[in-house]
Amino acid sequence: DAKTTQPNSMESNEEEPVHLPCNHSTISGTDYIHWYRQLPSQGPEYVIHGLTSNVNNRMASLAIAEDRKSSTLILHRATLRDAAVYYCILRGPGAGSYQLTFGKGTKLSVIP
Amino acid sequence: EPEVTQTPSHQVTQMGQEVILRCVPISNHLYFYWYRQILGQKVEFLVSFYNNEISEKSEIFDDQFSVERPDGSNFTLKIRSTKLEDSAMYFCASSEARISNEKLFFGSGTQLSVL
């Protein structure tokens, strides 16, 4: 089953852009790349997802490499409220399940 | 924005007792899920539910666990005889469909403490 690899932690200054990387070198052609985040003492929250093309929404942007073996979640201006654990998750046949399988994610700290 | 609501937010129980955790999914959603997160660990999938049947379950979801949609709005997780290791945050989620590009909406969770 395809897996993802993320750094354990990252830091960002408030109001600076943040690029959160994710490697998924064994992704299959029909797997979607999902990003969720979990604020302290909260349930996971959907951020964004994509298949091949870059995606933008009100929360973030998702940049997907041309070979799809990696992706980057971009928060354009980090705020203190963005301090959370960010999960990069594959969903689809190649991922082995349609369920969301959470890894350890990247803990983002935002410095005022 | 519509949200998934869970009650209670905290539940304390004695080992061996039955507990029922309640969830109200988003009204037009058809797929329902339970996840749990033991303190300091990953969020783990327990079970998915559609059309009044379990569609998928993990190894964690053994005979001590059951799920039910008793009416048109609630979705419940029952633990028949709680163990100390059942202490965790339990999250309910729902989605419109169960496909790869569908997003899940999670509730804020029920913190279960088994003494």
Residue A9: pLDDT band with limits 50, 70, 90: very high
CB contact under 8 A, B99 and A103: no
CB B106 within 8 A of CB B3: no
| Rounded Cα–Cα distance for residues B27 and A33 (Å) | 26
What are the residues whose beta carbons fall under 8 Å from the beta carbon of A72, sequence distance 6 or more? A19, A20, A21, A22, A62, A63
Give percent of chain A above pLDDT 70.
Answer: 95
From the list A31, A11, A24, A16, the residue with the least C-alpha distance to A100 is A31
pLDDT at B97: 83
Specify the pairing of strand A61-64 against strand A70-75.
Answer: antiparallel
Determine whether the interchain pair B108/A43 forms a contact, defined as Cβ–Cβ distance below 8 Å.
Answer: yes
The neighbouring-strand residues paired with A75 are A18
A102·B33 Cβ contact <8 A: no
Are the beta carbons of A34 and B103 separated by less than 8 Å? yes
What's the gap in Å between the CA of B57 and the closest CA on chain A? 10
Radius of gyration of chain B, Cα coordinates, nearest whole angstrom: 13
B88 pLDDT exceeds 70? Answer: yes
* Banded pLDDT at B102 (limits 50, 70, 90): confident
Q: Chains A, B: CB contacts under 8 A, how many?
A: 53
Contact A63, A15 (CB under 8 A): no
Closest residue to A45, CB basis, from B42, B98, B106: B106
pLDDT-above-70 percentage for chain B:
100
Pairing mode of beta strands B43-50, B10-13: unpaired
Asked whether A84 and A108 are in contact (CB, 8 A), the reply is yes
Q: Please state, in angstroms and as integers, the Cα–Cα distance from residue B93 to each residue in A18, A47, B85, B102, B104, following that order.
A: 28, 15, 22, 12, 6
Q: Which residue of B has its CA nearest to A103?
A: B42
Contact A24/B at CB under 8 A: no
User: Which residues 85-114 of B have a C-beta within 8 angstroms of A?
Assistant: 91, 93, 98-101, 103-109
Q: Which of B20, B19, B13, B60 is nearest to B41 (CA)?
A: B60
Phi-psi category of residue A87: left, alpha or beta, with phi > 0 → left and psi -120 to 50 → alpha = beta
Instruction: Give mean pLDDT, residues B21-38.
Output: 95
